[in-house]
Amino acid sequence: MANEKTVFVTGATGFIGGRVVETLYLSRSGHVRAGIKRWSSAARIARFPVEMVLCDIMDKEQIVQAMAGATSVIHCAVGEGDVIIQGTKNLLEVALRLGVERFVHLSTAEVYGNVSGKVDETFPYQYTGNEYGDSKIEAEKLCWEYCEKGLPVTVLRPSIVYGPFGATWTIGFAERFQSGNWGIFKDYGEGICNLIYIDDLVSAILLAARHENAVGEAFNVNGPEPITWNQYFQKFNAALGLPELNEMHPAKSKLKSVVMEPVRSLGSYLLNHFRDSIMKGYMRYDVVARVIKQAKKSVNTTPALAELNLYNRHALYLISKAQDMLGYSPKFDLDAGLQISVRWLEHHGFLLQRVEDGCQRSRGPISVPSDRGTPLEVDG
């Protein structure tokens, strides 16, 4: 249709961006243009006849071509700190030049830092030294700068996003529970786990892209029920059909995390500087493969110190502003979200074993995407 509006989605191969594209297409919400960094990662959205365009958000020429004719932009792409900041600036600059009617920027509740209590959008930014959160603050500042220049911008600050295709809070935790090394963290796990199911977040994104009240505003986006992290662990573990989790003593939990910190740092350094050599050794020598697998398992099933702090954070991100101004209403409680997530994990072979009626059934191996280790990182 000649007058059909075009929605351009960045980071369309990611957890959130992919679901935005799927929802837009399935709801027949105008013409969908999916921005992807490389063709090899487009298998998920290639199931649908949507327009796919190459768009590295660090490449202005690609952005201009990808955004041409778009009436709205939904910015879900993520990356390292410099990519978050400069990539967002590139997109905002092109969107302003091309006269885009609405620009929705996906930020994070991590911009509030290590706060406690009921947190609304009036709370100030808090730098913590965490690259992801600090970079998102800088990206938000750029959004407000371009909003003052005339670009209709809306910022969303989601909390803990889980659901199918979620690398950190869904696939990663399924691996942890199945390892037998995870448990209930006494004292540390009693912080508030602000969970939001992926489809509720997408609902908020689409409201922000269409509602006239959204322009120039920031909105917290959270789920319908506050629970503790320990409750999340117990419910997810039970939904997987696994034996009950053991209680982890606070001192032991912290000691394990402290001991593992240098291992994490060394692993990151080696992968950043010697990835090719390590992979050659992994492929050629069984002993190297065993050592790497054991180290990866130990790292993945031991919470980092930053995680323990997150699990003990008593902050509740309020959504009353989004409810009042946009009509946002989360639909998926934890039981419903976990049921769908576990079915997806099982269907895609992420479950090593599942206990049903007292019987264990073998599943395919788990393959977990690399975790950037950021407390409230949004998978784009």
Give the count of domains, the chain.
Answer: 1
Q: Is 200 contained in some domain? A: yes
Count the alpha carbons within 13 Å of 127 in the hemisphere toward its beta carbon. Answer: 7
* In a domain? residue 38: yes
Cβ contact 322:294 at 8 Å: no
Report if residue 268 sits inside a domain. Answer: no
Distance from C-alpha of 82 to C-alpha of 268, rounded to nearest angstrom: 18
Indicate if the pLDDT at residue 10 is higher than 60: yes
Determine if the pTM surpasses 0.75.
yes
In a domain, 177, yes or no: no
Range of the domain at 13: 6-164+195-223
187 assigned to some structural domain: no
Is residue 363 over pLDDT 60?
A: no
Report the percent of the chain where pLDDT is more than 90: 70
Phi-psi region of 273 (alpha: psi -120 to 50; beta: other; left: phi over 0): alpha
Does residue 207 lie in a domain region? yes
The pLDDT tens digits for 261-302 are 665 565 665 667 777 776 777 677 776 566 656 556 555 666
DSSP 30: S
Residue 76 covered by a domain: yes
Report the CATH number that the domain containing residue 216 is assigned in CATH: 3.40.50.720
SS3 assignment, position 19: helix
The order of strands in the sheet holding 51-54 is 51-54, 31-36, 6-10, 72-75, 102-106, 153-158, 218-221
Closest CA to 203 of 87, 308, 110, 330: 330
Q: Which amino acid is at 263?
A: V
How high is the pLDDT of residue 233?
96
Backbone angles phi, psi at 227, to 5 degrees: -135, 170
Q: How far apart are CA 17 and CA 36, in angstroms?
A: 10
The answer as to whether 378 is a domain residue is: no
pLDDT surpasses 70 at 377: no
